[in-house]
């Protein structure tokens, strides 16, 4: 019996599952350094972009990804202490924590300058290592000063000549944006640091050398090193790394293959492509596409402008991914513009800023007691960035009963509305003001009209023509559809002035209306 009981106990005892890897990120950006440091422009943006990439593609849960902007050295110490506490809790629950720390700031002589305070790089490295994670990756993009190609001067770890095909998984990796006695660069054209820009592009898929849908630490470093050295101005910039590791294995930083949306460059495509977001023109990725294999760049759902430079012209392609999915960058679909036009207009450049619309409209009674109306309308819309203007022509026919007669009504309306739209979301809300001019014609037929005219000799009732005007606010939402099409829903609350037929009818009244239609951009 006891042997049977022991066998049952062993059979029912839950099998020990392998520890779950949990990733944490601390992303630090400090535009302000010491009082004599020039203020940087993009360090905080780079920190936010790094968080976005690791949350989207790097397996970091949003509540485990912290961003510190213009924080002091003490703030950084406190945040790392909090993270060490969370790591201890995770390990106590049987999890396997991995910590990534990213910093973009001023630095000099091995010391980070953070909002008027100092944090030695050695202290940052040691504090991150002692936080208790199985593996710690520290990326430092340190900087000093500058404008177009700004010196960032981070003191880096030695640039070891070591192949990174197989990386140990226990210990710490430290990556710096530049080698000893070198400067790093911050570019206005990239809206960010040169090294971080290439690192982010690589993590989104361009560094995936073996096309397995994953970007490893070795692939990301090799890609960032190559692109940074090739693109750096002046005396050059050579990213460096240091390893304090044991064990064997491969560390995957991101998995672009699992992204909700992506741009796909076909195998035959070649050249330099720049992908920027819209309406805010942030550079999301910059790839040097080589022919021979397709390239998939993971991007968050949204709207993008793809640019390809060729001599004095630039090829442009607007890409709509508001709900995710994939879109192929088709070379034949590029629209070519002079480079000077693209350089002047920048992110405000619209390739398809015109649209035609077919609309159905419901509107309240123009005259009290006559009921609501349905009408059809055609429209033309022109956009400039987030601003829009819409002109419409509408026609309405209606019939209703009066006192002892039938009334037929025809109306022609000319409308003009303009306003602003928010393009940051999949559905595009918009507000504006509307002005409408309406021409109204009414014809009357009395009961027994033929008898009245034939027997009494009375003429038919004269038709009535009048002209009215209305104005008021308009709100709506634009729904992107496949390709250049979209749906539009708008509501208006107009104050209408219509000259009355008699003094008992007020000339001013509220006139609500709603429109639903489809549009085509060209």
What are the boundaries of each domain within the chain?
19-257, 259-347, 354-521
Buried b / exposed e along 98-111 (16+ C-beta atoms within 10 A): bbbbbbbbbbbeeb
Residue 80 CA from chain centroid, whole number: 30
CA pair distance 225, 237, nearest whole angstrom: 9
CA pair distance 23, 90, nearest whole angstrom: 10
Give the relative orientation of helices 194-201 and 43-57 as an angle to the nearest 10 degrees.
Answer: 10
CA pair distance 64, 339, nearest whole angstrom: 43
pLDDT for res 458: 81
Nearest C-alpha neighbor of 228 from the set 153, 177, 164, 285: 177
Q: What architecture does CATH give domain 259-347?
A: Sandwich (2.60)
What is the mean pLDDT for each group of 10 consecutive residues in the chain (522 residues)? 51 54 96 89 94 96 96 96 97 94 90 93 93 94 46 41 48 82 75 91 95 93 90 74 73 94 95 89 90 94 90 89 92 85 63 93 79 92 92 92 86 96 90 95 86 79 90 96 92 89 73 95 92
CATH code for the domain defined by 19-257: 3.40.50.1460
Q: 419 with 431: CB under 8 angstroms?
A: yes
Tokens of 372: 């609501």
* 354-521 and 259-347 share a CATH fold: no
- pTM value is 0.78
Tell me whether residue 465 is exposed, middle or buried, using C-beta atoms within 10 angstroms of its C-beta: 0 to 12, 13 to 18, 19 or more.
Answer: exposed
pLDDT for res 145: 30
Q: Using alpha carbons only, give the angle 291, 294, 299 rounded to the nearest 5 degrees.
A: 125
pLDDT for res 185: 83
pLDDT for res 157: 39
Map residue 446 onto helix, strand or coil: strand
Residue 498 CA from chain centroid, whole number: 45
354-521: in CATH 3.90.1150.10: no
Query: In the 8-state DSSP scheme, what is residue 184?
Result: -
């Amino acid at each position: 019996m006891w042997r049977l009981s022991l066998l049952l106990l062993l059979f029912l005892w839950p099998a020990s599952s392998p520890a779950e890897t949990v990733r944490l990120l601390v992303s630090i950006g400090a535009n302000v350094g010491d009082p004599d440091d020039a203020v940087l422009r993009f360090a905080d943006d780079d920190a936010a972009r790094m968080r976005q990439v690791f949350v989207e593609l790097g397996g970091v849960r949003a509540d485990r990804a912290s961003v510190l902007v213009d924080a002091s050295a003490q703030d950084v110490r406190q945040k790392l202490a909090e993270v060490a506490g969370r790591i201890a809790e995770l390990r106590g629950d049987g999890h396997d924590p991995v910590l990534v720390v990213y910093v973009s700031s001023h630095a000099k002589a091995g010391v980070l300058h953070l909002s008027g305070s100092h944090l030695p790089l050695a202290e940052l490295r040691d504090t991150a290592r002692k936080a208790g994670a199985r593996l710690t990756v520290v990326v430092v993009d340190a900087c000093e000063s500058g404008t177009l190609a700004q010196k960032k001067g981070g003191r880096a770890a030695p640039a070891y000549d070591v192949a990174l095909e197989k990386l140990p998984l226990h210990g710490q990796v430290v990556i710096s944006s530049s080698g000893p006695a070198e400067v790093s660069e911050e570019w206005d054209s990239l809206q960010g640091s040169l090294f971080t820009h290439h690192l982010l592009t690589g993590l989104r898929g361009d560094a995936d050398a073996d096309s397995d849908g994953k970007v490893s630490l070795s692939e990301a470093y090799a890609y960032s090193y190559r692109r940074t050295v090739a693109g750096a101005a002046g005396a050059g910039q050579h990213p460096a790394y240091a390893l304090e590791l044991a064990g064997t294995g491969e560390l995957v930083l991101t998995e672009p293959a699992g992204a909700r949306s992506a741009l796909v460059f076909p195998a035959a495509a070649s050249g330099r492509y720049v992908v920027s977001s819209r309406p805010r023109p942030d550079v999301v990725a910059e790839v040097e596409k080589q022919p021979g294999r397709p390239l998939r760049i993971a991007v968050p759902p949204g709207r993008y402008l793809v640019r390809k430079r060729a001599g004095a012209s630039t090829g442009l392609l607007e890409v709509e991914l508001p709900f995710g999915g994939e879109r192929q960058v088709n070379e034949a679909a590029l629209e070519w513009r002079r480079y000077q036009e693209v350089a002047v207009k920048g992110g405000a450049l619209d390739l398809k800023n015109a649209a035609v619309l077919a609309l159905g409209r419901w509107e309240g009674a123009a005259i009290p007691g006559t009921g609501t109306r349905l009408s059809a309308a055609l429209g033309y819309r022109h956009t400039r960035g987030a601003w829009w203007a819409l002109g419409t022509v509408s026609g309405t026919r209606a019939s209703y009963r009066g006192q002892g007669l039938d009334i037929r009504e025809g109306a022609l309306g000319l409308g003009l509305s303009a306003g602003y739209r928010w393009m940051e979301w999949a559905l595009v809300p918009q507000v504006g003001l509307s002005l409408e001019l309406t021409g109204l014609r009414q014809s009357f037929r009395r009961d027994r009209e033929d008898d009245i005219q034939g027997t009494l000799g009375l003429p038919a009732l004269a038709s009535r023509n009048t002209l009215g005007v209305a104005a008021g606010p308009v709100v709506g939402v634009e729904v992107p559809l496949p390709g250049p099409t979209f749906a539009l829903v708008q509501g208006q609350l107009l104050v209408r002035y219509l000259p009355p037929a008699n003094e008992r009818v007020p000339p001013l009244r509220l006139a609500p209306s709603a429109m639903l239609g489809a549009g085509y951009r060209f």
